[in-house]
Amino acid sequence: MQIDNLLKQVDFIKEIDKLKYIQRKTKLFNSDRHENDAEHSWHLAMMTIVLAEHANKPIDVLKVMKMVLIHDIVEIDAGDTFIYDTQKNHSNTEQERIAAKRIFGILPAEQAEEFIAIWEEFEEGKTDDAKFAKSMDRFEPLLQNTSNNGGTWSEFNVSYQKVYHKKKAIKEGSSSIWNYAENLLNESVKNGILKT
Amino acid sequence: MQIDNLLKQVDFIKEIDKLKYIQRKTKLFNSDRHENDAEHSWHLAMMTIVLAEHANKPIDVLKVMKMVLIHDIVEIDAGDTFIYDTQKNHSNTEQERIAAKRIFGILPAEQAEEFIAIWEEFEEGKTDDAKFAKSMDRFEPLLQNTSNNGGTWSEFNVSYQKVYHKKKAIKEGSSSIWNYAENLLNESVKNGILKT
């Protein structure tokens, strides 16, 4: 049984290597190089460890780390959707649900169920853990864009109002990080790297 | 106080972005593209979640995940040392200790101490948590090299004996993963991708 599990787990470990090829729209800090989903997921896990004290409500740090580490794995099949893409709903599409079933389904049944449940909890964004995980996912590209002279905001001509609308989800996870983030957005408008 | 902490934490989050530029010798699965340290750390964290049940002794999964996520951060200053480099001792050099102090020292004092302690525990490799973390760190490149027709073993002409000597650390963390890994090494010799 343990050996059966190990074989499935090794298959899964090989499969998720593909996350390193999924390019995001955002770029690394002070850089022209696009970030990939594996790098992004690592960074969110680091942010979760480091910033957990700022959560509005007590969070289960291990659970949130699992969330951010796996949250983009469905993009191996479904691809990265740009958060400001108005043609396509960003979250939890049917395509992503099928991807979750296929990819997490490589694991032993009990683990597959756990991973799908964690991914769905993240996507729904209703629990305190999911809210904090989402706030990490919104905060990282904000920091990247401000370091990159507006980054994707300038590149794709995204307005302050649209950015604000997406970023205010940070507040649900952490009021203190939101205070900091809101200031950064206001400064970005003043500096002309984010247009109203 | 919380704001003071947040400012330091954001500085740290920006600093560690540099891990994405540190290239390892090993390459992605079935690929010619080198892996970077951030991708590697993400993959080890995923392996830790997925393979924890195979640990010889009960482990603190959150602690092990922190270990593998931060274990290479010192390479931002110290650079990646190839595990089969005979000129240079791989682990815990003076240069790495200075790097740990500088980089983790960007964090608030209490967190800096926690991170340095976790990194040292990993490097010493004596606790059950550190042994399991090390076994993840040895297992990933073994899987990568077998997928890449010998990978760094062929490229740098590393013998079975040398590989075996490094890889047997996996056994300290997990006998069942070691059984699997040892078989892979024997098969690699048979297939001619690892020379005795």
pLDDT for A8-28, tens place per residue? 999 999 999 999 999 999 999
Q: Please give the full DSSP string across A2-29, using - where no structure is assigned.
A: HHHHHHHHHHHHHHGGGGGG-EEEEE-T
Span A30-35, mean pLDDT?
97
The mean pLDDT of chain A is 95
Q: Report the candidate in A189, A140, A144 with the shortest Cα–Cα distance to residue A162.
A: A189
Give the pLDDT of residue B92.
61
Span A178-195, mean pLDDT?
97
B19 contacts in A (CB within 8 Å)?
Answer: 42
Counting Cα atoms < 13 Å in the Cβ hemisphere of B93 gives: 15
Residue B45: which pLDDT band, with cuts at 50, 70 and 90?
A: very high
Two structure tokens written together for A175: 């009021």
- Contacts of range B63-66, beta carbons closer than 8 Å, 24 or more positions apart: B63/B118, B63/B129, B64/B129, B64/B132, B64/B133, B64/B136, B65/A45, B65/A62, B65/A65, B66/A49, B66/B115, B66/B118
Distance CA B94, CA A141 (A): 35
Query: Percent of chain A, pLDDT > 70?
Result: 96
Span B34-60, mean pLDDT?
98
Residue A92: which pLDDT band, with cuts at 50, 70 and 90?
A: low
For B150: left if phi > 0, alpha if psi spans -120 to 50, otherwise beta; the answer is left
**In Å, how far are A149, A183, A196 from A187, measured between CA atoms?**
12, 6, 12
In the stretch 74-103 of chain A, residues with CB closer than 8 A to chain B read: none
B66 contacts in A (CB within 8 Å)?
Answer: 49
Counting Cα atoms < 13 Å in the Cβ hemisphere of B196 gives: 7
What is the predicted ipTM? 0.96
Give the pLDDT of residue B87.
63
Which one-letter DSSP state was computed for residue B155? Answer: H
A13 closest CB neighbour out of B47, B54, B111: B47
Report CB contact under 8 Å: B43, A17. Answer: yes
Residue A81: which pLDDT band, with cuts at 50, 70 and 90?
A: confident
Task: Find the residue in A nearest to B53 (Cα).
Answer: A2
Residue A80: which pLDDT band, with cuts at 50, 70 and 90?
A: confident
Residue A1: which pLDDT band, with cuts at 50, 70 and 90?
A: low
Give the pLDDT of residue A93.
84
B83: pLDDT strictly greater than 90? no
Task: Find the residue in A nearest to B46 (Cα).
Answer: A69
Distance CA B164, CA B171 (A): 11
A176 contacts in B (CB within 8 Å)?
Answer: 2-3, 6
Q: Please give the full DSSP string across A89-156, using - where no structure is assigned.
A: --SS-HHHHHHHHHHHTTS-HHHHHHHHHHHHHHHHT-SHHHHHHHHHHHHHHHHHHHHTTTHHHHHT
The H or E element containing residue A36 is: strand A34-36
What's the residue count for chain B?
196
pTM reported for the whole predicted model: 0.96
Q: Are A163 and A153 in contact, with CB atoms under 8 Å apart?
A: yes
Distance CA A185, CA A188 (A): 5
- Which residues does A44 contact at the CB level (< 8 Å), separation at least 6? A68, A69, A71, A133, A136, A137, A140
Task: Find the residue in B nearest to A107 (Cα).
Answer: B50
Task: Find the residue in B nearest to A27 (Cα).
Answer: B17
Give the pLDDT of residue A110.
97
B194: pLDDT strictly greater than 80? yes
- Report the DSSP beta bridge partners of residue B27: B34
Q: How many Å from the N-terminal Cα to the C-terminal Cα in chain A?
A: 59
B91: pLDDT strictly greater than 60? no
Span B148-171, mean pLDDT?
96
Report CB contact under 8 Å: B39, A49. Answer: no
B90: pLDDT strictly greater than 60? no
- Identify the three-state secondary structure at position A70: helix
